């Protein structure tokens, strides 16, 4: 903690004590329920605080990591030598006007989709069951059942690596399959604006219910996971390749290829991050040997190696 001493003194000037956590177990902040401790975790109250935290990190040369709801993260067992800035339940302003919704990055997609439904707006039904925040969804261009964030978003407010607030519009987002201009950078997504169509409330509700039921039927939602582990290889489905490789239920330590959906790895019994990483490697090798396909991960492994 010595290296953070001055940083912490400065941070306490503008962030209340309970919103700063030290040696915080990341397993409490990820859907995998896995992960060593982050040196510091901060829960900012608004975008002004985020900007001040980022500026302070830059001034003190302290690395920072941005997270939403941790539903696409595998935090390594040694934890994170960084300041983790968590948006979920922190940046949660949401505003609906006519056929627009503007919302901050810490709002859950399910909440955003429900707000759209309440106002009779269609276009976000696909997002109702994705367990991430808006920020994580923009970074990942999250999508399901034929819909993607890129189809409905019009602009994003973000803080760039120099601590300057900027706006990205349309094509500037560089959206692709599970990617955007924000991936692999330290740009902080603050909020985004969506344009939706007017629709029938009952039909919107019915579609969201149907898609959520499809998830319950096909995905192992009863066990901790980070969703689909691998990106979809062109011309194949990762889950089918894994299943056809005979790996359904294959275990390393407490990590297991889901019995219900082979594209998911579940934490079935106190898995470590290393168990998951070893299992990922085993799956990649097996699928490559059997089918010649190289599976790339969709989940983000972070933390000290
Ligand atoms: C059961 C289950 C089902 C899932 N189903 C789907 C699905 O159908 N479709 C799909 O696309 N995904 C799915 N996922 C994966 C996950 O929910 C999405 O990737 C989601 O968009 C991640 O959001 P998050 O807030 O949890 O991001 P995190 O996991 O916290 O972070 C993901 C990445 O985004 C970055 N990030 C997060 N917030 C910000 C921000 N404000 N500014 C800058 N960077 C940020 C992080 O640094 C990290 O690189 C599923 C996951 C689970 C557990």
Distance 136 CA to ligand 1 centre (A): 4
What is the residue-wise DSSP string for the chain? -GGGHHHHHHHTTTS-GGGEEEEEEGGGSSTT----EEEEEE--SSHHHHHHHHHHHHHHT--EEEESS-TTEEE-TT-EEEEEEE-TTTS--EEEETTEEEEETTSBHHHHHHHHHHTTEES-GGGTT--SBHHHHHHHT-EETTEEGGGTEEEEEEE-TTS-EEEEEGGGG--BTTB-TTTTS--EEEEEEEE-EE--HHHHHHHHHHHHHHHHHHS-TTS-EEEE-BPPPTTS-HHHHHHHTT-TT-EETTEEE-SS-TTEEEE-SS--HHHHHHHHHHHHHHHHHHH-----B-SEEES--
Domain 220-302 has CATH 3.90.78.10: yes
For ligand 1, atom 34: residue with the closest CA: 136
CB burial string 248-262: b at 16+ within 10 A, e below: bebbbbbbbbbeebb
- Residues 285-305 have a mean pLDDT of 98
Spans of all domains in the chain? 2-86, 94-204, 220-302
- Residues 262-291 have a mean pLDDT of 98
- Residues 141-163 have a mean pLDDT of 97
In this prediction, residue 219 carries a pLDDT of: 98
Provide the annotated active-site residues.
178, 228, 298
Reported confidence tier of residue 41, pLDDT bands at 50, 70, 90? very high
Regarding the beta carbon of 139 and ligand 1, being less than 6 Å apart is answered: yes
pLDDT > 90: percent of the chain: 98
* For residue 1, pLDDT beyond 90: no
Site to substitute for ligand 1 among 111, 131, 302, most atoms within 8 A of C-beta: 131
Domain 2-86 has CATH 3.30.43.10: yes
- Residues 143-154 have a mean pLDDT of 97
In this prediction, residue 2 carries a pLDDT of: 86
In this prediction, residue 206 carries a pLDDT of: 98
In this prediction, residue 98 carries a pLDDT of: 87
Reported confidence tier of residue 99, pLDDT bands at 50, 70, 90? confident
- pLDDT top residue among 97 and 133: 133
Distance 6 CA to ligand 1 centre (A): 32
Regarding the beta carbon of 141 and ligand 1, being less than 6 Å apart is answered: no
* For residue 279, pLDDT beyond 90: yes
Candidates 3.40.50.460, 1.10.260.40, 3.40.190.150, 3.30.465.10; CATH matching 94-204 = 3.30.465.10
Distance 139 CA to ligand 1 centre (A): 8
* For residue 145, pLDDT beyond 90: yes
């Amino acid at each position: 903690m010595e290296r953070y001493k001055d940083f912490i003194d400065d941070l306490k000037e503008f962030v209340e004590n309970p919103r700063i956590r030290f040696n915080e177990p990341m397993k409490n902040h990820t859907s995998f329920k896995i992960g060593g401790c982050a040196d510091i975790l901060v829960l900012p109250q608004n975008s002004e605080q985020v900007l001040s935290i980022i500026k302070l990190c830059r001034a003190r040369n302290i690395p920072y990591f941005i997270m939403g709801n941790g539903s696409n993260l595998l935090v390594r067992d040694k934890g994170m030598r960084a300041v983790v800035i968590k948006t979920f339940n922190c940046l949660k302003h949401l505003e609906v006007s006519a056929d627009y919704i503007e919302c901050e990055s810490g709002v859950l997609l399910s909440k955003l989709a429900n707000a759209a439904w309440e106002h009779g707006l269609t276009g976000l039904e696909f997002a109702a069951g994705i367990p991430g925040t808006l920020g994580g969804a923009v970074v990942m261009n999250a999508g399901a059942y034929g819909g993607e964030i890129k189809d409905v978003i019009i602009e994003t407010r973000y803080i760039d690596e120099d601590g300057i607030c900027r706006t990205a519009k349309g094509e500037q987002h560089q959206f692709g399959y599970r990617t955007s201009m924000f991936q692999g950078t330290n740009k902080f997504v603050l909020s985004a604006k969506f344009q939706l169509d007017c629709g029938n409330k009952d039909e919107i509700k019915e579609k969201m219910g149907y898609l959520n039921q499809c998830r319950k039927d096909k995905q192992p939602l009863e066990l901790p996971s980070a969703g689909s582990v691998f990106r979809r290889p062109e011309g194949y489905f990762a889950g089918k390749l894994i299943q056809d490789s005979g790996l359904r239920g294959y275990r390393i330590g407490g990590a297991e290829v889901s019995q219900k959906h082979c594209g998911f790895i579940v934490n079935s019994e106190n898995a470590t991050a290393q168990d998951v990483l070893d299992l990922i490697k085993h799956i990649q090798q097996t699928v490559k040997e059997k089918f010649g396909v190289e599976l790339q991960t969709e989940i983000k492994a972070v933390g000290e190696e």
